[in-house]
């Protein structure tokens, strides 16, 4: 169902396209992944219906209005891809300006408006609620979960505690903060969780900072590496099972895609396997699972999505054991959007093509914005 606000925009802009600000890059270890995703989103966006406004955020947090012809350097090389910092003027967001939210900081200082924002920002400062909070303050509709869902989804510790309370199966885990590093005891951890085990930053994605540990020597290397990316880390039991992923789409009534399976050719589905090595993993879509298991992971995916207060989109990752038991590993609230990424591929195999998926996500953003605009923000006695 297309929202009234969306229809209003279409009527108002019959000759004027809907302006979609695509935010990408950002201050995150997943900066390069974001560039790849944004390139795919921009190329797939229906240019007859939407006017893309490219806003690149560099690793220092500077926002730049990007020239569509030259916004990326080495765009076909995932190892060398980079934001072209010389491609456009610096911009800032202006609160309270309904039609002129983007202000250029150089030259004439011109302002321009956008109708909706598509944040293609993976990891910290983009997927963790910080950007979503800024966009809410700017009174702008945006794609993906709002502040709470984004923050919870990014924090694996908080997410797993909520999932556990909701009765959703998860792996056993222990959380440590940076000031507790001296209290970590390898023997106690190994006794509690077994070997091998995983060490990972609590707030990050794309498998950055994650290590599979088989002995004490690699354990301490993994601890040091994980603490480089976050002040809180998880040590988690190893679940021997198939890596199954399910995409979720929707607001109040989300639906699940067909499940897909990741078969890594590396030790596990690492950053290199996902984005660098073209042969890093095989993606089997749909996954070859018994019908009861398919139904189970789809139901668990939607339950996870709702439990973690998500809207718009999310990709729920599972481990499925030989016996058919499914454990939720994590949710990604701004999943990879490259042409080979699982989220768009899962929906393609579920009957929604890439351009149509982007269109639906923008519609969902508009619908939520319309719904929230009806809420009172001031009290009248």
Contact 335, 315 (CB under 8 A): yes
Q: Is 224 a catalytic residue?
A: no
Please indicate whether residue 97 is annotated as part of the active site: no
Say if residues 200 and 20 touch (Cβ distance below 8 Å).
Answer: no
Residue 48 annotated among the catalytic residues of the structure: no
Which one of the listed residues 28, 257, 329, 332 is annotated catalytic? 332
**67 among known catalytic residues:** no
d(CA 358, CA 337): 10
And the tokens for 31?
């900066």
317 is catalytic: yes
Quote the pLDDT of residue 97: 67
- pLDDT digits over 148-201, tens only? 999 999 999 999 999 999 999 999 999 999 999 999 999 999 999 999 999 999
Q: How many CA atoms lie within 13 A of 208 on its CB side?
A: 19
- Name the residue among 297, 226, 307 with its Cα closest to residue 258: 297
**Do you find a cis peptide bond into 196, omega within 30 degrees of 0?**
yes
Looking at per-residue pLDDT, the higher value among 61 and 94 belongs to 61
Give the domains, in start order, of the chain with CATH numbers. Answer: 4-143 (3.40.50.20), 153-169+239-333 (3.30.470.20), 173-237 (3.30.1490.20)
pLDDT, tens digit, 9 for 90 and up, residues 92-137: 888 776 667 887 766 566 777 899 999 999 988 999 999 999 999 9
Q: Which residue has the higher pLDDT, 262 or 7?
A: 262
Q: Burial letters for 56-80: b for 16+ Cβ neighbours within 10 Å, e otherwise?
A: bbbeeebbbbbeeeebbeeeeebee
Q: Taking all residues of the chain, what is their mean pLDDT, rounded to a whole number?
A: 89
User: For residue 97, how many other CB atoms are within 10 A of its CB?
Assistant: 14
Distances (CA, A) of 272 to 33, 37, 133: 11, 16, 31
């Amino acid at each position: 169902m297309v929202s009234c606000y969306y229809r209003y925009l279409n009527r108002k802009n019959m000759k004027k396209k809907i302006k979609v600000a695509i935010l990408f890059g950002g201050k995150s270890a997943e900066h390069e992944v974001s560039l790849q995703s944004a390139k795919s989103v921009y190329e797939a966006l229906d240019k007859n219906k939407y006017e893309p406004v490219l806003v690149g955020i560099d690793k220092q947090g500077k926002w730049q209005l990007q020239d569509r012809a030259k916004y990326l350097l080495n765009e076909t090389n995932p190892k060398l891809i980079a934001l072209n910092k010389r491609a456009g003027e610096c911009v800032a967001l202006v609160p309270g300006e309904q039609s002129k939210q983007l202000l250029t900081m150089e030259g004439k200082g011109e302002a321009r408006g956008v109708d909706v924002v598509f944040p293609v920002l993976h990891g910290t400062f983009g997927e963790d609620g910080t950007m979503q909070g800024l966009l809410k303050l700017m009174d702008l509709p945006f794609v993906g979960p709002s502040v709470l869902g984004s923050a919870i989804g990014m924090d694996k510790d908080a997410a797993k505690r909520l999932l556990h309370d909701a009765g959703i199966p998860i792996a056993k885990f222990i959380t440590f903060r940076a000031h507790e590093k001296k209290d970590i005891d390898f023997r106690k951890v190994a006794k509690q969780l077994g070997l091998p085990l995983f060490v990972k930053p609590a707030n990050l994605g794309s498998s950055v900072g994650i290590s599979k540990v088989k002995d004490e020597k690699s354990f301490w290397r993994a601890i040091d590496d994980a603490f480089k990316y976050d002040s809180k880390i998880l040590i988690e039991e190893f679940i021997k099972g198939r890596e199954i992923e399910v995409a979720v789409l929707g607001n109040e009534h989300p639906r699940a895609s067909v499940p897909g399976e990741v078969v890594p050719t590396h030790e596990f589905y690492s950053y290199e396997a996902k984005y660098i090595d073209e042969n890093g993993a095989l993606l089997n879509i749909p996954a070859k699972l018994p019908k009861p298991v398919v139904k189970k992971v789809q139901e668990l995916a939607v339950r996870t999505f709702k439990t973690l207060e998500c809207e718009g989109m999310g990709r729920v990752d599972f481990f499925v054991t030989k016996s058919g038991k499914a454990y939720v590993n994590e949710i990604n609230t701004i999943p990879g959007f490259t042409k080979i990424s699982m989220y768009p591929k899962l929906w393609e195999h579920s009957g929604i093509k890439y351009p149509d998926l982007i269109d639906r996500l923008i519609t969902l953003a508009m619908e939520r914005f319309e719904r929230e605009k009806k809420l009172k923000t001031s009290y009248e006695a």
